[in-house]
Homo-oligomer: A and B are copies of this chain.
Amino acid sequence: MTGRTRREKVDQREGDILIAARDVFVENGYDQARMAEVARRAGIAEGTVYLYFKSKNALLFAVLARFWDDLTAGARAGVEAETPGLPRLRCLMQYHMDCLSRDIELLQMAAHVQNLLYGDPETQDHLRRYVSVFDDVFRQCQALGQLSTDFPVWMARDLFFGTMEYSARTMRVRGVEQSAMVVAHLMMVFETSYRADAGEHPQSLNGVDRLDAVSDRLEEVVRQLLRSGQH
């Protein structure tokens, strides 16, 4: 606390603001988030926030940038601990789905913001770096002969991110946790539609995966029941 240089203090304060802002944004959504509340939680005056971020929008961008960066780091780490090829793909899928379920509010805001300021290349960079984790994994599957090279990567990418994002959104509306099934299903789709030896029969989503998924869902339902029973 004592021996910190001015620069360190400033960095620390910027971090405090970002953390406070993230909380406030997630709790209230962008529109309902109050700059005054962000300042209060960061323990500074309202005007001070504007020394660090030039507007509410810029603040959200900064929060999202950090979020994407964390996501990228986590994904790279998780993926590299797996054997190359399809297992890595499944691992990334699982990771992405988990993050989506956990932080869907932030991601919705990202889409909202994307709408506002797409075109600014700087703002999209963090997202692009995250997306490239998938690109790498997918290309490696192709290189290993596990997936067909007949399709451009962007198609698989749209399928991958699009399906999961939409699932996460509807899951939330329906109030059910079914990420395991989503992952199993999407993995099946990748394996059947993009399989390298296209002459063979597609393999169906296997029984164990689905049993897994069903039990996850049941567990979730029961857990909700228990939780609500305590009030």
CB contacts (< 8 Å) of A105 on chain B: these are 115
Answer whether residue A146 sits at the interface, using C-beta atoms and an 8 A cutoff: no
Q: Which of B29, B159, B207, B211 contacts A115 (CB 8 A)?
A: B29
Considering the chains assembled together, what is the distance between the CA atoms of A219 and B215 in angstroms? 10
Answer whether residue A228 sits at the interface, using C-beta atoms and an 8 A cutoff: yes
With A158-B163, A161-B166 already in contact, the answer to whether A150 and B193 are too (CB < 8 A) is no
Contact between A118 and B215 (Cβ–Cβ < 8 Å)? no
Considering the chains assembled together, what is the distance between the CA atoms of A175 and B71 in angstroms? 26
Answer whether residue A77 sits at the interface, using C-beta atoms and an 8 A cutoff: no
Contact between B173 and A124 (Cβ–Cβ < 8 Å)? yes
Choose, from A4-12, A42-50, A136-144, A197-205, the stretch at the interface.
A197-205
CB contacts (< 8 Å) of A193 on chain B: these are 188-189, 192-193, 202
Answer whether residue A51 sits at the interface, using C-beta atoms and an 8 A cutoff: no
Among A97-125, those with CB < 8 Å from B are 105, 108-109, 111-112, 114-116, 118-119, 124
Contact between A198 and B202 (Cβ–Cβ < 8 Å)? yes
CB contacts (< 8 Å) of A116 on chain B: these are 29, 31
Among A153-208, those with CB < 8 Å from B are 154-155, 157-159, 161-167, 169-170, 172-173, 175-176, 181-182, 185-186, 188-189, 192-193, 195, 198, 200-205, 207-208
A34 to chain B, nearest CB (A): 15
With A124-B173, A158-B182 already in contact, the answer to whether A195 and B202 are too (CB < 8 A) is yes
CB contacts (< 8 Å) of A186 on chain B: these are 159
Answer whether residue A126 sits at the interface, using C-beta atoms and an 8 A cutoff: no
